Chains A and B, each alone.
Chain A
């Protein structure tokens, strides 16, 4: 059973996440459009992943729980933003990351193979909390992430593999 868009965004809204920004990824399928169209969600269509993290962090200062929705190739674009901004100032923003290239070749396209193999390592290396979303583990994953992000006041990442959301 996949997680449908309504359950996914509903669980996030219940936890107070009503502001999202990002760059689309096909991993999210129609769930991305559902988020953009949700009248209870304020969405900003960022032009780059680091820009999305900047915008979401500004929203955080205004008292909003904010999320950044990106493809894992964009993790490469936010490493410096994480190290010299989010982790330095300690600004908790939720990263929702489509995990392209999961499982390695021949899955997905060649440009995703190297980052696909290293995506979780990127967050381990930066000592950031992350969770790999399972079809039956949405609430538990979000709770663990929220707890660690609040406790450490730093960003955390929810890694979403192809086929988990519908």
Chain B
């Protein structure tokens, strides 16, 4: 197949996966699930722990030149930041993508919907 066809197919697949499964596989944990997570973390010595949060950079090769300033991170390449939150099976409970690479973890956190839910008292229940 030609490059163009593959590119179109990849985008279609991505859109399909997100539309089809995002409602079930990428959402805040329900009460029952949260209880399981809390139980398991209690057994590991951290009662009340819902998971762990961290950031990572994803290198962006075709970053437009206009955005180089914003997206250049401290290691000198352009990237977007993935901030994720997960339980111990690497099951992802929350993901925020798209913060510019020049942000540090704290700024990325403050951009994420999770932080706003926390400070608004919506989450955790």
Interaction A to B:
no
Q: Which residues of B contact A (CB under 8 A)?
A: none
Q: Which residues of A contact B (CB under 8 A)?
A: none
